[in-house]
Structure 1
């Protein structure tokens, strides 16, 4: 599990990320010294930047840029994949999402296909354990009309490759809405489509499966833990 929060980056760090993201096709062989040269900064600055984003080192960040398995597991079957997810489970991410939600008066959960079904289920769960106005939608126009400066827009997506969320993100930011993405698989394109990303699974699901064929088990485990945080705070 990992989280990437671009809002924590200063202008130089955001510049570094944008430069390296633009060169992701060649970054498979781009050493940290070369990255420093391209970004016109020191090697130590690159190292501090990738750690601030939540990666252990530059090598792990480079793997992320290239859409590779960051931790290095090899997918086997669903039971083993979920076991790997539970072994790597980081409760700090649950605390992070809980803190984000409680700081907003409205929660909009957005998703397509099976991800929408997850959004609808958890919309029901949040409405029954919080006083936060919560709704689930799959229509981009409806989402744009619902959000405002007191809204947290949570986009659920398995891979982030079926649809782009760039337009939704741009519209939401015009209304000063905070936007986060909860994704199972690593996808560098999502870094420009939200303020913060929660990546859940250390193991990818089989490549031959279409996005709509892949399970959403990790969503249910992760978000249910967030629900439990709310339930534990009830009098």
Structure 2
């Protein structure tokens, strides 16, 4: 899932069911595999709206114009997995192909790998930074954003109130303007959140992060991303095979951070 579907789904989920925005988003999602072949007037007709109304809609969800919207639909249609990370197999695809029993054996190996290779000292460092910073945010894209939301609520249980935003544009705006007293904890199994990962065009780099004044923590399985100079707190985990159970591993890391944070209280 990439930027077009991501934004349409978020808008649909944050709009009244009977609203025009919800109807347009649902229509575009239902026809997502055909949009790259259709001109703006055809898509506007599908949505029962004018071309100008469709142009305003795509700008509302963060695209410059209909052409950029359609180009990204076409670009995303032919991509799968993470850009530049296609050799990794999501757990769901493996289970669908091989079944549960082989997957559970891999998961057992992954847990051993996780225990052996995860740096506990870095977990403690990040927990200390979390404790010391008053302004903290946590972000991710798509599945990793659900980990960020869970982390926000788990920290609230400990009396620490941190921020998160579902929309990628709001995340970007926050990071562009954060100051030196801000800590941002990013969940990104592929590590591509720092660079693109489908949330922007291929080749797009979040160059503004190079100039950020805030501190960045990255929870990832991508060693190169973890070692990027902009990452002050790299939390690196690994897998025993090319099957990735990141939704489970991210939550293990989350609970480890919270456990260390509670000790500081």
- In the TM superposition, residue 188 of structure 1 has moved relative to its aligned partner by 4.9
Select between 150-159 and 185-194 the one with higher mean Cα deviation.
185-194
Deviations 1:92-145 (A, max 9, x none): 1211111221231111111011100000000111122143x4122243431243
Q: TM-score, normalised by structure 2?
A: 0.49
**Measured at CA, do residues 203 and 193 of structure 1 come closer, stay the same or move farther in structure 2, by a change above 3 Å?**
farther
- Counterpart Cα distance in 2 of 1:171 and 1:188: 16
For 1:122, the equivalent position in structure 2 comes to 151
- Counterpart Cα distance in 2 of 1:190 and 1:154: 15
Q: Please point out which of 119, 124, 128 is paired with 1:99.
A: 128
Residue 199 in structure 1 maps to residue 239 in structure 2: no
Structure 1 gap ranges (5+): 1-74
- Counterpart Cα distance in 1 of 2:253 and 2:159: 17
Greater per-residue helix proportion: 2
Residue 143 in structure 1 maps to residue 180 in structure 2: no
For 1:88, the equivalent position in structure 2 comes to 117
For 1:230, the equivalent position in structure 2 comes to 261
- Where relative contact order (Cα < 8 A, 6+ residues apart) is larger, the structure is 1
- Counterpart Cα distance in 2 of 1:189 and 1:99: 19
CA contact (8 A) 1:153 1:177 kept: yes
CA RMSD in angstroms comes to 3.0
- Counterpart Cα distance in 1 of 2:142 and 2:223: 19
Structure 2 gap ranges (5+): 1-102, 197-203
For 1:19, the equivalent position in structure 2 comes to none
CA contact (8 A) 1:159 1:186 kept: no
**Measured at CA, do residues 103 and 205 of structure 1 come closer, stay the same or move farther in structure 2, by a change above 3 Å?**
farther
- In the TM superposition, residue 148 of structure 1 has moved relative to its aligned partner by 2.7
- Counterpart Cα distance in 2 of 1:184 and 1:130: 29
- Counterpart Cα distance in 2 of 1:113 and 1:142: 14
Q: TM-score, normalised by structure 1?
A: 0.54
For 1:38, the equivalent position in structure 2 comes to none
CA contact (8 A) 1:120 1:136 kept: yes
**Which is greater in Rg?**
2
Q: Give the aligned length.
A: 152
**Structure 1 runs (4+) greater than 6 angstroms displaced:** none
- In the TM superposition, residue 152 of structure 1 has moved relative to its aligned partner by 0.5
**Measured at CA, do residues 204 and 148 of structure 1 come closer, stay the same or move farther in structure 2, by a change above 3 Å?**
farther
- Counterpart Cα distance in 1 of 2:210 and 2:225: 20
- Counterpart Cα distance in 2 of 1:91 and 1:189: 15
